[in-house]
Amino acid sequence: MVTGLKKLCWQIPEGKFRKANSGTPSIVERVMIMNEISSKSNAPLPNRTPGTATQIGYMPGFGNDFETEALPGALPVGRNSPRRCAYGLYAEQLSGSPFTAPYATLERSWMYRIRPSVKHVRRFSKIEMPYWKSAPNIVRDVISLGQYRWDPTPFPTQQVTFVTGMRSITTAGDVGTQVGLATHVYLANQSMRDEYFYNADAELLVVPQQGRLAIFTEFGKIDLEPLEICILPRGMLFKVDLLDDEARGFVCENYGAKFTLPGRGPIGANCLANPRDFKTPVAWFEDRDGSCGVTVKWCGEFHRTEIDHSPLDVVAWHGNYAPYKYDLRHFAAVGSITFDHPDPSIFTVLTAPTAEDGTANIDFVIFPPRWLPQEDTFRPPWYHKNIMSELMGNIHGQYDAKPQGFKPGGISLHNCMLPHGPDYDAFENASSSNDDPVYLDNTMSFMFETRYPQMVTDFAANQAVLQDDYVDCWEGLQKRFDGTPEGNWSESKQEP
């Protein structure tokens, strides 16, 4: 039965919108479509703890106080720092917030490790990462004002890891004052192996587009694939190995307040990204001697030190400051079931707030498969100018407002107060359609949105594959005003 459903799903043409009365896939079929999309590598579905929906190796929940141990009895009971820890471990706290932060934003984890972190660094040497930029980074001869779109960034011929293959696209704000962000594309064709990294400037939101990753952290292991995301906290050591030959994706480097779930307002307690669907890894450690390198990003500069052991030696931990991952296929989209297109904020997965309510340092927004049932409505996103700056990426398939040219792996940028909206084809199709409900499948795009203007890097302006003709996508839009209430639709594709 399952095989038959799978075969039926793949008979549906790619990039097509399905009407409710024309062979609409069932819920089971739609889930299988998205699972198939994410597993071109034929990876098995995640193992789950018997009798539960929890993946083996992960703990469910968002912002929870977790506790986990890789060896029995490694966690002290009822205290944080005993005189002597079990197994001869060292107790150490990693704080993600000031000690006196309000309880709602107070973040820390206690770790019980083979060596304290002071043994994981020695004297540093500055190194160059010429393609990884931090804000402020204003390039004199680069014009950031404009509507821009890029093809997928090609893989380099030389060997690069997740860190050395980072290519900055935009920066915003100021890394030194801890506001704003940087956006990047990562390209990797080599595992990090004995090289480790932590970012003292920011937390990292990782969005894979091609290739699976194995992320080894101080808190545990995270397996990540396209259509999943993960958060790597500021100050946490990790390394990234490849599960496929090559990997490409997007990274949002958040200098400001950490990502959290958005307020749902009248939506209530359910839908959007539900807390239970976030997964934090269980404790895992390496007890391994040998030459290792540790690279640190600090105040926009990179420093490297060498040690004689693996720094991923946390045997047990408890707290609420830890990495986590989330499967975008679990996002419960909401929208209008009568008329009009709601604001894109209804698709917010995570938000990094500022002191001004409702004005985010960063919003992470997705555009997943969903139904469009609105009557007498222009269903794609409307034409718009916005105080926020929007960088979009395409993970998979086709984006409904830009059916041509926005390729998987591609990026677009619409800076603050610059007009943008559906291209000519999207406008013609949407304004000529009828009221039949439509299911958008074969799609997953996202947006890094910030209150700060995003400055285009030299790499993005001069080395990445910039589509010089992107602004021409609106060229075909015509004047339809002729003084009559009906307007002039004589050259439209068909009458609605």
Q: Kindly report, residue by residue over 118-177, the tens digit of the pLDDT.
A: 999 999 999 999 999 999 999 999 999 989 999 999 999 999 999 999 999 999 999 999
Give the model's confidence band at 104: pLDDT under 50 very low, under 70 low, under 90 confident, else very high.
confident
Nearest to 401 by CA among 374, 376, 377, 428: 428
Q: What is the CA radius of gyration of the chain?
A: 24
Task: In whole angstroms, give the CA distance from residue 449 to residue 390.
Answer: 5
Q: Which two tokens stand for residue 150?
A: 């890029």
Task: In whole angstroms, give the CA distance from residue 311 to residue 462.
Answer: 38
Specify the pLDDT at position 401: 62
The three-point CA angle 114-117-118 to 5° equals: 120
Nearest to 180 by CA among 98, 101, 260, 252: 252
Residues 288-318 pLDDT 10s = 999 999 999 999 999 999 999 999 999 999 9
- Residue in 303, 309, 341, 384 annotated catalytic: 341
Residues 357-411 pLDDT 10s = 889 999 999 999 999 999 999 888 888 898 999 999 999 998 866 767 889 999 9
User: pTM value?
Assistant: 0.89
Taking the mean position of all CA atoms in its chain, how far away is CA 355? 23
- Non-local (6+) Cβ contacts of 456 within 8 A are 139, 142, 143, 144, 148, 169, 170, 413
- Non-local (6+) Cβ contacts of 79 within 8 A are none
Specify the pLDDT at position 9: 30
Residue 341: active-site member: yes
pLDDT over 70 at 211, yes or no: yes
Domains and CATH numbers, the chain: 1-37 (no CATH), 58-138+161-258+282-327 (2.60.120.10)
Specify the pLDDT at position 425: 87
Task: Give percent above pLDDT 70 in the chain.
Answer: 87
Is residue 435 a contact partner of residue 117, using CB atoms and an 8 Å limit?
no
Is residue 117 a contact partner of residue 98, using CB atoms and an 8 Å limit?
no
pLDDT over 80 at 2, yes or no: no
Is residue 413 a contact partner of residue 390, using CB atoms and an 8 Å limit?
yes
Q: Residue 264: what residue type? A: R
Q: Residue 374: what residue type? A: Q
Question: Is it true that the peptide bond before 342 is cis, omega within 30 degrees of 0?
Answer: no
Q: What integer best gives the mean pLDDT of the chain?
A: 89
Specify the pLDDT at position 122: 93
pLDDT over 90 at 48, yes or no: no
Residues 313-365 pLDDT 10s = 999 999 999 999 999 999 999 999 999 988 889 999 999 999 998 899 999 99
Residues 466-493 pLDDT 10s = 999 998 888 889 999 999 999 998 876 5
Task: In whole angstroms, give the CA distance from residue 366 to residue 309.
Answer: 40
State mean pLDDT over 193-199. 97
Per-residue burial over 275-306, b = 16 or more CB atoms within 10 Å of its CB, e = otherwise: eebbbbbbbbbeeeeeebbbbbbeebebbeee
**Helices (H), ranges, 131-230:** none
